[in-house]
Amino acid sequence: MAEARLADVHRHARSLLTTAGIENAELDARLLVEWVTGFDRLETIRNPHGGIAADVLARLDVVLNRRINGESVHRIIGRRAFFGLEFSLSADTLEPRPDTEALVELALPFLQQRVAENGVADLIDLGTGTGAIAIALLGQIRHLRAVGVDIAPGALVTARDNAHLNGVSNRFAALHSSWFAEVTGGFDMIISNPPYIRSNDIANLQPEVAMHDPVLALDGGADGLEPYRIIAVQAESYLRANGAVAVEIGFDQRIDVETIFARSGFALKGLQKDIGGHERAMLFMKL
């Protein structure tokens, strides 16, 4: 294909994604065109007739086809924004999504109070993935330290890179562990966005999730609740006095998760809704 004008390239991308039935086709097309061409929205406005070379157009068609085949824009680009920060993605990590910001918002006041009382606070993030939750909190609280735990070595590499990218690597440590298996010491807060999808439901998720997100980070067992049982039973051994546990939940899991933690002697002390109005994050403390 010969060289094309930038404005025409945008129209071509929008048309392809719209015809394919992609939700948010216009936004996705813009992000992919900007990523492949290196020209942002301002450049498109300034120079809509600027030429795009044939080899660049060929690369764009490749990524547009990846989007049409169910791969998300952010996984194609390899990064995503979360809580005002930028995070790299890898095959071993979920994308940090806006709903999870509810968990950060719920945890933030508690950790700020612990720092105010003690001068420093320690957080452990179980199933850290990209490190987004822990790193977002480190970015907000200067005297917070965090350990990110994950069973996938590739996720830990990504989390370390993201800590460096966001300037908090001196307060972030990555630990290879299955839940608490290799964890030692005590923490002011245990936080987690654990796998909470029922095993049989994974295949029915959106293609962006079912086909491209790591199954280990999705599969919460037969009822989607197994990780909460593990955390609730073991958390007390790793919490400092008056410490807290904060977890993300599925939109219909509040009662079940509250019951699981109550059986281990925890009381619900905080609840946060996500941007869609669903109960998404819960904070527990020992009775």
- The model's pLDDT over 242-279, given as tens digits with 9 standing for 90+, comes to 999 999 999 999 999 999 999 999 999 999 999 999 99
CA–CA separation, 120 and 63 (whole Å): 45
Q: What is the pLDDT of residue 40?
A: 79
Among the listed residues 116, 175, 170, the one whose alpha carbon sits nearest the alpha carbon of residue 141: 116
* Nearest-angstrom CA–CA distance, 117 and 126: 25
For residue 236, the model assigns a pLDDT of 97
Amino acid in position 30? R
DSSP lists the bridge partners of residue 52 as 4
> What is the 8-class DSSP label of residue 130?
T
Name residues whose C-beta falls within 8 Å of residue 86's C-beta, 6 or more positions apart in sequence: 79, 80, 165, 166
**Ramachandran bin of 24, using left for φ above 0, alpha for ψ from -120 to 50, beta for the remaining angles:** left
Q: How far apart are CA 147 and CA 99, in angstroms?
A: 22
Beta bridge partners of 191: 125, 246
Residue with tokens 């002697």: 265
pLDDT of residue 4: 81
- pTM of this structure: 0.93
Phi and psi at 284, nearest 5°, equal: -120, 150
Low-confidence ranges of the chain (pLDDT < 70): 1-3, 44-45, 48-50
**Closest to 104 measured CA to CA, from 286, 275, 285:** 275
Reading the block at residue 66, the tokens are 């990846």
Q: Can you give the pLDDT at residue 48?
A: 62
pLDDT for the residue 1: 44
**Residue 250 DSSP symbol:** -
Q: Are 281 and 191 in contact (CB under 8 A)?
A: no
CA pair distance 5, 43, nearest whole angstrom = 12
pLDDT given at position 49? 67
